[in-house]
Chains A and B, each alone.
Chain A
Amino acid sequence: GAVVSQHPSWVICKSGTSVKIECRSLDFQATTMFWYRQFPKQSLMLMATSNEGSKATYEQGVEKDKFLINHASLTLSTLTVTSAHPEDSSFYICSAPTRIQETQYFGPGTRLLVL
């Protein structure tokens, strides 16, 4: 089946640094990918829609200058958390929809801890 990977799976960084998370669709092309954030014991909150060849679309309340999204190719989207702070610590998950039976595939997630 279709697989979506994320790298890294976890990252610890100092406050003020930037962190890049990659999301790849391994055996299908994705013109759109989604980025979610999940705080402990909470649901997934959609942050933004990553669009190949155009700007990302951010959900209300998500700072686009803080969470930079680049959809470099049909199989790769990156999320960069700029000047990370402890409150940015969370589990970040990406997903990519396919046109097969309206199925979305989720990456395994990236756990970010900002000290």
Chain B
Amino acid sequence: AQSVTQLDSQVPVFEEAPVELRCNYSSSVSVYLFWYVQYPNQGLQLLLKYLSGSTLVKGINGFEAEFNKSQTSFHLRKPSVHISDTAEYFCAVSDRNTDKLIFGTGTRLQVFP
């Protein structure tokens, strides 16, 4: 079974500052890793994913994440955030044999002017 831990429930940050949202996972099998963003009262939008290959993954809206197998982490980063990045961010994992996604508890990113 897989599980996902997002250590920070809330991350406040000023506009144009860098940010890192942490994600750790546990799994006994090889997995795919994802970051999704959810704006208020909306569904989920895929930011980026790691399937294989390069461990540094670039996504939409200037976000990137790095897969670290030894640390079982997939932290999300952005060098300079905007007010519009304020949202809930979910890290998720799925094993390579099913399409089931297991989500972390989410991190609320709040960007202040």
Contacts and interface: CB of A to CB of B under 8 A. Distances in A.
Interface residues of A, number: 21
Contacts of A75: none
Nearest to B44: A106
A108 B41 CA distance: 8
Contacts of B105: 42-43
A74 to B, nearest CB: 15
Contacts of B41: 109, 111
A106 B44 CA distance: 6
Interface stretch (B15-23, B72-80, B94-102): B94-102
B44 A93 contact: yes
B90 A44 contact: yes
A52 B103 CA distance: 24
Contacts of B45: 106
A43 B106 contact: yes
Interface string B79-113: 00000000000100010000111111110000000
The secondary structure that dominates the A interface is strand
Interface stretch (A13-21, A61-69, A79-87, A95-103): A95-103
Interface in B19-48: 32, 36, 41-46
A90 interface: no
Contacts of A102: 32, 49, 51, 94, 99
Nearest to A109: B43
B81 to A, nearest CB: 21
A109 B26 CA distance: 28
15 contacts: A34-B99, A42-B105, A43-B103, A44-B44, A44-B103, A49-B100, A97-B99, A101-B49, A102-B94, A103-B46, A103-B49, A104-B46, A104-B99, A106-B36, A109-B42
Interface of A: 6, 32, 34, 42-46, 49, 93, 95, 97, 101-104, 106-109, 111
